[in-house]
Amino acid sequence: MARADWGGIFPVLVTPFGADGSINEIRYKALIDDAIANGAQGVVAAGSTGEFYALTKAERARLFKLAVDHAARRVPVLAGVADLRVEDVLEACQSAVAAGCAGGLILPPIYAMPSPREVVAFFAHISRNTPLPLMLYNSPRRAKIELTPALVEQLSALRTVVAIKDSSGDITQVSELVQRVGDNLRVFVGYETMIVPARAVGAHGVIAMAHQIAGPLIRAYWDKALSGDKALEDLGRDVCALYRCFQSGSYYAAIKETMSQLGRDAGGPRLPLLPLADEQKAAIAKIIADAGLARWAKA
């Protein structure tokens, strides 16, 4: 059975697009350098925040290779390998292996809404047909499938399953995951707002969105999470303010707008998402100003 030693902060990189809609590879490399400089212990290429659903297969494969080559073994690179068709998931896994990725972040089948028996069959099929170490991705809001702790425990027996990203937002579920599978799988949460309680119950890491915007803030929040430091409350307030920015529009478009307003431009989103409307941009600007978030982006 495969094992991984992943832990800490793994930001899911946005995919920067130029004015013509093409991938801005220079900016992408800068994001990787910034993430590592700000204490990331891994990065995720072409995940949800990277708009995997709007990328061609060739673009995803290119991002996997670009991230691995530029990270140059400084940190592990995980590939977002979710897709609609099972064959396309396996093709993404093959691209990740060819690029040298350390693993793949994988949702259960999208849209089909399979039963638990069918979910197990899906992951078993993927595991049999690729050597890529897999991080399961529980995102019930988007996938409409719940990877419960009991189901994850069953899936942990698969030879290539090494980790779980839980975006349920439920700390009781995270705690149960740690208790059930924490000795075999690396347990990550999907929101930086959950760092303190997740670390308290023994989670190993966070698959991060805000780190690439305010890396010093997220790194400090992670490091101080178990310290009882009086500064933790202020740090947590700023982390929550960043997440309020993201909620001002469609999540991935709002992340890019927040980055832009904080001087870390990554272009706009691709369809089906649109750049934020003026009132949404104004809402983000107010949150940034009220919380003083600019100091974290410039650190």
Contact 267, 18 (CB under 8 A): yes
pLDDT at 229: 87
The architecture (CATH level 2) of 8-229 comes to: Alpha-Beta Barrel (3.20)
Q: Is the pLDDT at 244 greater than 60, yes or no?
A: yes
pLDDT of residue 130: 97
Marked catalytic residue, from 65, 165, 256, 281: 165
Q: Is the predicted pLDDT of residue 267 greater than 80, yes or no?
A: yes
256 pLDDT exceeds 60?
A: yes
Predicted confidence (pLDDT) at residue 298 exceeds the cutoff of 90:
no
148 known ligand binder: no
The mean pLDDT value for 47-61 works out to 97
pLDDT surpasses 70 at 299 = no
**Residue 1: what pLDDT?**
66
Cis ω before 16 (30° cut-off from 0): no
Pair 31, 44: CB distance under 8 Å: no
In the prediction, which pLDDT does 176 show? Answer: 98
**230 compared with 255, residue with greater pLDDT:** 255
Residue 3: pLDDT band by 50, 70, 90 thresholds?
confident
- Of all helices (H) and strands (E), which one includes residue 9? strand 8-11
Nearest Cα to Cα of residue 92 among 125, 126, 135 = 126
Q: Is 49 annotated as a binding residue?
A: yes
Residue 272, classified by CB atoms within 10 Å of its CB into exposed (0-12), middle (13-18) or buried (19+), is: exposed
The burial of 42, by beta-carbon neighbours within 10 Å (0-12 exposed, 13-18 middle, 19 or more buried), is given as: buried
Look up the pTM and report it: 0.96
Question: Among residues 281, 228, 227, which one has the least CA distance to residue 250?
Answer: 281
Question: Catalytic annotation on 243?
Answer: no
- Beta bridge partners of residue 17, listed in sequence order: 23
Report the pLDDT value the prediction gives residue 228, as an integer from 0 to 100: 85
Q: Which of 29, 53, 111, 137 is catalytic?
A: 137
Instruction: Spell out the residues 6+ positions from residue 259 whose beta carbon is closer than 8 angstroms to its own.
Output: 14, 212, 213, 265, 266
53 in active site: no
Q: Which of 42, 77, 50 is nearest to 204 (CA)?
A: 42
Any idea what the Cα angle at residue 211 is, between residues 205 and 212, rounded to 5°? 135
Q: What's the half-sphere exposure (Cβ side, CA atoms, 13 Å) at 285?
A: 8
Average pLDDT over residues 23-40: 97
Residue 2: is its pLDDT beyond 80?
no
Instruction: For residue range 141-189, list pLDDT tens digits in order.
Output: 888 899 999 999 999 999 999 999 999 999 999 999 999 999 999 999 9
Residue 191 has pLDDT above 80, yes or no: yes
pLDDT value of residue 143: 87
Query: Would you place residue 245 in the very low, low, confident or very high pLDDT band (cuts 50, 70, 90)?
Result: very high
Mean pLDDT of 70-74: 98
Looking at every residue in the chain, the average pLDDT score rounds to 96
Two structure tokens written together for 71: 């990270």
